[in-house]
Amino acid sequence: MKRKYGVSYFSSRDLRHFRRDVEEIKDAGFSYIVHTFSERDMEFYSESVGELVKLSKEMGLNTLADPWGVLRLFGGEEYSRWIYIYPEIRQRKHDGSEGYGACPNNQRTISLLEEWIDKVAELGFDGIFWDEVHLDDIACFCEVCNEYFIDEYGGRMDLAPSVILREFGASSKRRLLEHLFSYAKKKGLSNTLCVLPNASLEELESYIYLRDLDVYSLDPYPVVLKNNFVGFMEKYVPYLFDKARRRGLTTELWVQGFALKKEEIGYIDSFFSLIKNVKVDRVAIWSFRATESMSYIRPEEPELVWRKFIEYTRRDGRAD
């Protein structure tokens, strides 16, 4: 079975520009596209994004929606309006200060994410790319979470050791994801979960066993792993992906196509060398044309990064 290639896209909401971009994406051998769909997109660009999705599918690309920065629970360089409209859903840190993202156990959080899923389904996406769910601390310490914690552990969070708090934080994320996965499935959407590999091995492995998950994804970016990139790729990726395959899941890895210095571009060669003997069903790059449209994290040489990655999509025979 041939490996599939994917790319994320947020460069433009203008259909005229996207017509050109999607031609390049298709010609490069990609088979799926992850469109970011933020709260701002949902409010102001829904029909525009729907047009991009329609054209993507006409080009034969599978389409996934990314909750980019939604409620600041998911990864992405985008602000959340909802956490200001509904301040009561804000996470609380261990010291009582206000967190940046929304509480995963708050019912309002869940309702807002259900509304987001409803819109994704309405726009015709094939699935959802749940991107890097995270907390601002090892757990959320709001009163809603305290009530959950008392039910599960028999005491308040402020008396619990960090090992228990950390597990509660992870279980809060899993509880939310399972609900969202189930809701999305009922809407006819597939579920891909991308887990940032800065968590413990136990937590990374635990996500493999979530109900209604279709694709288990990791983004072992050097910018996150620093000096642990090779070790993670050699040891943990094969281990986790073997577990995922046994679970019946598709596996996916992301390549860092942003924030690379010119002398770091060879990392892409290292990446593909390291996965030669690892069964990876899908490989994707963040993002289109190496994120050249976003100066904040644009590589020093985005054209070189993009062309380096495309060498592999073509070398693997995925493009004519």
C-alpha to C-alpha distance for 171 and 155, rounded to whole angstroms: 17
Based on C-alpha coordinates, what's the Rg of the chain? 19
The pLDDT, as a whole number, for residue 1 is 58
Asked if residue 178 lies in contact with residue 191, where contact means CB atoms within 8 angstroms, the answer is: no
Report if residue 276 sits inside a domain. Answer: yes
Domain that holds residue 49: 4-315
pLDDT above 90 for 52: yes
Q: What is the DSSP letter of 232?
A: I
Report if residue 39 sits inside a domain. Answer: yes
Structure tokens at 60: 């034969």
| Backbone φ/ψ region at 124: left (φ over 0), alpha (ψ -120 to 50), beta | left
Confidence bin at 315 (pLDDT 50/70/90)? confident
Report if residue 199 sits inside a domain. Answer: yes
Report if residue 270 sits inside a domain. Answer: yes
Q: For residue range 189-214, list pLDDT tens digits in order.
A: 999 999 999 999 999 999 999 999 99
pLDDT above 50 for 128: yes
Report the percentage of the chain scoring pLDDT > 70. 98
Report if residue 125 sits inside a domain. Answer: yes
Report the percentage of the chain scoring pLDDT > 90. 96
CATH code: domain of residue 232: 3.20.20.80
Report if residue 278 sits inside a domain. Answer: yes
What mean pLDDT, rounded, does the chain reach?
A: 96
Report if residue 320 sits inside a domain. Answer: no
pLDDT above 90 for 140: yes
Give this prediction's pTM. 0.97
Note every long-range contact of 179-184, with CB atoms under 8 Å and residues 24 or more positions apart, other chains counting.
179/110, 180/110, 180/113, 180/114, 180/117, 180/130, 181/130, 181/210, 181/211, 181/212, 181/213, 182/211, 182/212, 183/114, 183/117, 184/117, 184/120, 184/121, 184/127, 184/128, 184/212
Confidence bin at 314 (pLDDT 50/70/90)? confident
Confidence bin at 43 (pLDDT 50/70/90)? very high
Q: For residue range 53-90, list pLDDT tens digits in order.
A: 999 999 999 999 999 999 999 999 999 999 999 999 99
Q: How many domains does the chain have?
A: 1
Report if residue 69 sits inside a domain. Answer: yes
